[in-house]
Amino acid sequence: MLAVQVRFIYPFKWLNDMEYLPRNIRIDWLRFQVLSYHPSMFRQIQRILGLPFERKQQQLQDARDTNILALNKIWHEVYEFQGSLIGTCYPAAGSHEPYKHFVDLNGSTLAGVTFDKVAALLAFCQLEEEFVANRIDIALDFPVQAPRLSCRYWEVFLSDNLLVGYRSIRRISNIGNNRPGTTVYLGSRESERFVRIYDKNIDGVDYDRLEIEFKRSRAQWIMQEMVACPVDELPKFLNGVVCGQINFSRQREDIEFFKDYKYGPISVPAPTLHLDIERSIAFIEKHCATLAMVEEFMGLERFDKFMRSMLAAGKLRMKPRHRSILHNAKFLGVTALGVFLMLAQTPGAIAGGLTCPVPVPLSFQMSQKFPIDIVQPTPAEQAYFDNIGDGCFQINAGLGFQSICLPGMIVNALKPFVIMGLGIKFIFSD
């Protein structure tokens, strides 16, 4: 829990208006991986943090003494301090692959690490061969208000479509135990953004905590921006990152309270949604050996029954993301085919009075990718076209090869077919 050394009674210097609640900013979790050719990365990371990490001993009876299980993977060396871990995996003997390292720091460890050390650690690791951010939790601790932040009507905000960007909510109330309190969860734990609003007691003082767990691409963006940000501006940046995750679609009286909490929001880019179904097909092809192994083990009849069962279960588990990929794949495939069929079936409109020389005596190597693949001519083909000027090329729209002349003919033919809403643009110039 990386706390700025400012008490609640003194608001931050960038909180110019006293109407905003003071707050403490903490980094409550930090996890990333690094590929590097430096075998001494651990010692350099430990030197930056200034913490006494100690080497762990192996826990697997059937593994070599140097192998440690951490983060669901096997590592050759793992070092621990207060539950935080730093690990290293050696490359194969004789290979030129880099070393793999991971850093997993929890809130207890980060309580003793200052902002400048965190920034220095991230800057140092991001200069290596590859830096992969896994997770960063950022928390704001506010003085207790009435009612408490966790006791607000978050379920109502979500059901009334006021809360932007979240589709699920869960509330847990602890009553009658040693640590009473309420926790509200917004979003899914598996997503790249997961919100926790709960009651927090630090050194005997009660606070309202707003904590965001960022993963994968969102965590990558935040850690990169932390390196680019001046150290004295990091509290303001992290505050804005957290405040930017709670947004309301419209004004209403019962959400006015959040104006006291929200200051300087910063938008974290949402993950890019890949709608190329070819990636899913490639994933299955990559694991074809596994499928073959299972088929040989089960036998053909049992394997077919198993696959039908898996497909039936998969259809029930398809999420909106899968439906979007499927919808766009079908729509774009039909649209692209329709465009080429229209071109093939209307030669008069395409030709427009132009004449073509003899067919190109060179064959094109055309490979079909989803949904459309633009084929670039080889140097020999380009030289041929340059020599004949406005020539022709052959295009196969599914009904055999058709001749299309360049350049004005193809431009005029394709200008009407511009698809904007699906993120595909054909940009032409005369």
The answer on pLDDT for 12 being more than 80 is no
Mean model confidence pLDDT for the chain: 79
Question: Among residues of the chain, what percentage have pLDDT more than 90?
Answer: 53
- pLDDT at residue 239 in the model: 97
Higher pLDDT, 198 or 413: 198
pLDDT digits (tens, 9 = 90+) for 348-387: 444 444 334 444 443 333 333 334 334 456 666 666 656 6
Which amino acid, 183?
T
State the pLDDT at residue 175.
72
pLDDT surpassing 70 at residue 322: yes
pLDDT computed for residue 341 by the predictor: 58
Q: What is the pLDDT of residue 277?
A: 75
Buried b (16+ CB within 10 A) or exposed e, 47-81: ebbebebeebeeeeeeeeeebbebeeebbebbbbb
Q: Are 243 and 265 in contact (CB under 8 A)?
A: yes
Please, what is the Cα angle at 51 between 45 and 52, to 5 degrees? 105
The pLDDT-based confidence of 328 (bands split at 50, 70, 90) is: confident
CB 76 within 8 A of CB 89: yes
Q: Which of 157-166, 170-179, 280-289, 311-320 has the highest mean pLDDT?
A: 157-166
The CB-based long-range contact list for 330-339 (8 Å cut-off, 24+ gap) reads 331/422, 332/370, 332/371, 332/372, 332/422, 332/424, 333/370, 333/371, 335/371, 335/419, 336/371, 336/372, 337/397, 337/398, 339/414, 339/417
Q: Is the pTM of this model over 0.85?
A: no
Task: Enumerate the domain spans of the chain.
Answer: 24-260, 277-317, 336-414
Confidence category of residue 344, pLDDT binned at 50, 70, 90: low
Strand, coil or helix: 81 = strand
Q: Within a 10 A sphere around the Cβ of 294, how many other Cβ atoms?
A: 13
Other CB atoms closer than 10 Å to residue 95's CB: what's the count?
Answer: 8
Q: Name the β-bridge partners of 106.
A: 29
Q: So what's the pLDDT on residue 339?
A: 54
Higher pLDDT pick, 294 / 421:
294
Q: Compare 137 and 289 and report the one with higher pLDDT.
A: 137
Per-residue pLDDT, averaged over 396-410, amounts to 51
Most confident of the ranges 1-5, 270-274, 394-398: 270-274
Structure confidence at residue 211 (pLDDT): 98
Distance CA 218, CA 268 (A): 7
Residue 53 pLDDT grade (very low, low, confident, very high; cuts 50, 70, 90): very high
Count of other CB atoms within 10 angstroms of residue 32 = 22
pLDDT surpasses 90 at 278: no
pLDDT on residue 409: 47
User: From start to end of 39-122, where are the E strands?
Assistant: 54-55, 68-70, 73-75, 77-81, 84-89, 99-106
Separation in Å, CA 287 to CA 72, 290, 310, 313, 318: 20, 5, 16, 20, 20
The percent of residues above 70 in pLDDT, for the chain, comes to 69
Residue 71 has a pLDDT of: 75
Token match 């501006």: residue? 233
Q: pLDDT, tens digit, for every residue of 223-244?
A: 999 999 999 999 999 999 999 9
> Hey, what are 68's tokens?
């440690």
pLDDT (tens digit, 9 = 90+) per residue, 148-205? Answer: 999 999 999 999 999 999 999 999 988 766 667 899 999 999 899 999 999 999 999 9
- Bridging pattern class, strands 84-89 and 77-81: antiparallel
